[in-house]
Amino acid sequence: MSLPVWQALLALLLPTLLVQGQARWRGCPQDHSTTKPALLRLSDCLLSNYTKGVRPVRDWRKSTTVLVDVIVYAILNVDEKNQVLTTYIWYRQCWTDEFLQWNPEDFDNITRLSIPTDSIWVPDILINEFVDVGKSPNIPYVYVKQDGNVQNYKPLQVVTACSLDIYNFPFDVQNCSLTFTSWLHTIQDINISLWRKPEKVKYDRSVFMNQGEWELLGVLTQFQKFSIEASSCYAEMKFYVVIRRRPLFYVVSLLLPSVFLMVMDIVGFYLPPDSGERVSFKITLLLGYSVFLIIVSDTLPATAIGTPLIGVYFVVCMALLVISLAETILIVRVVHKQDLQQPVPVWLRRLVLDRIAVLLCLGEQLNSPRLSATSQATKIDDCSAMGNHCSHSGGPLDLEKIPWGRGSPPPPPRGASLAVRGLLQELSNIRHFLEKRDESREVARDWLRVGSVLDRLLFRIYLLAVLAYTITLVTLWSIWQYS
């Protein structure tokens, strides 16, 4: 056969050989059988000689890049005691399989095909924080495009470990991470990258169920490499799920009742200090607050590593109620009337009535007549009533020893003198009894004035302590709420 004939045959067969070779390189040879549907022919063509146990690359030096994406759908549970977060997410990943490529023109222009997940190679990417298997639906198919791009979409119920900080409860913000990495393959075999831009991932709340206790603030992303051994380096993609608790329920059910009880305790200071109702009133408040703490104890989160600030707040409020009751008992003891009550010491009178009363602007309210003036007026009245038959020493005069003038009537007989002397003795006893009673009343009034001043002083100190503590907590909670 001559050379021109060979050239002619080669020119005719070369295009056919090139098309077959290109189709074979794309992963699937041509199949001109018209008895099967295009989808079935394409599926048989792709999976007939496919080996799913080998990483789908033609050059083993080339790493397979897996693109991952996370969309948070719902926050199902936050277990503070066990430090576990349960979320429901939409997880997406895609990679390029070089053995799943075809020419759409050979298969009725099919550009995308769904095939079973169990029939192809799938990267071993999992979440490092997994602590339990969630109830996730099984999605048995993946999408494969003509260029070998495999897209795997599936919803996941993720139960992960998270370091939950409950100190700011109920105004706490939690930051839990979901770390996606290959458990076996190093970064030379499988590399992980982000499917979308970080800004779009961060502010994506398109499918989030925003009616629960927790509010989604954002999802932050971070890529990093870590190595266990010097020769092994792994790629991982971290998704930080930032959530914030809605505090309205806890404010209404926990904080407001406690505030109301503390306000009633402060109002109880306006009861008279010398009445026993204040002690019983404050004991009732203390018992009521104890019952309130027993009821709300199940609502507070409990961990072994810390106590929320609201728990400290309840304990301090209980301590303040106990201090208020102790102060009331002290004041009642001071102002309690006794028959043999000692007078107020001079140093205590000067300290309380002369200094603290002036400091508290209570001087005018405590002014009262002194015992000496009262006693002197009583003596003067008694002597006037007795017809001036009193000596300057306060005792009755001896009628027989009184010098009588020339114009004065004669003294009464001795029998009558004894009767008058007995009568005067009885009047003197009555006068001494009244003086003792007045002195006792004056001592009681002095102690009452001292108790009133001390009660005002302790009340203002108590009020300042409660206000300072409340303002501090409200400021901290406001900063945490709006930070």
- For residue 361, is it left (φ>0), alpha (ψ between -120 and 50) or beta? left
Range 31-38 contact pairs with CB under 8 angstroms and sequence separation of 24 or more: 31/106, 38/107, 38/108, 38/110
Residues 344-364 pLDDT 10s = 677 766 666 666 666 666 655
What is the pLDDT at residue 263? Answer: 92
Burial letters 109-135, b for 16+ CB under 10 A, else e: ebeebebebeebbbbebebebeeeebe
What is the pLDDT at residue 223? Answer: 94
* 263: number of Cβ within 10 Å: 11
What is the pLDDT at residue 443? Answer: 66
Spelled out in words, what is the top-level CATH class assigned to the domain 246-361+430-482? mainly alpha
CB 221 within 8 A of CB 201: yes
Give me the residues of the chain with pLDDT under 50, please. Answer: 1, 17-26, 368-402, 404
Beta bridge partners of 174: 243
CA distance linking residue 441 with residue 431, whole number of Å: 15
List the structure tokens of 393: 């020493």
What is the pLDDT at residue 373? Answer: 39
Q: Where are the domains of the chain?
A: 38-245, 246-361+430-482
Q: What is the per-residue DSSP string for 175-235?
A: EEEEEEEESS--TTTEEEEESS-HHHHHT--SS--TTSSEEEEEEEEEEEEEEEETTEEEE
Residue 107 makes CB contacts below 8 A (sequence gap 6+) with 38, 41, 42, 45
Give the architecture-level CATH label for domain 38-245: Distorted Sandwich (2.70)
- Read off the pTM: 0.71
What is the pLDDT at residue 31? Answer: 53
- Closest C-alpha among 244, 225, 248 to residue 235: 225
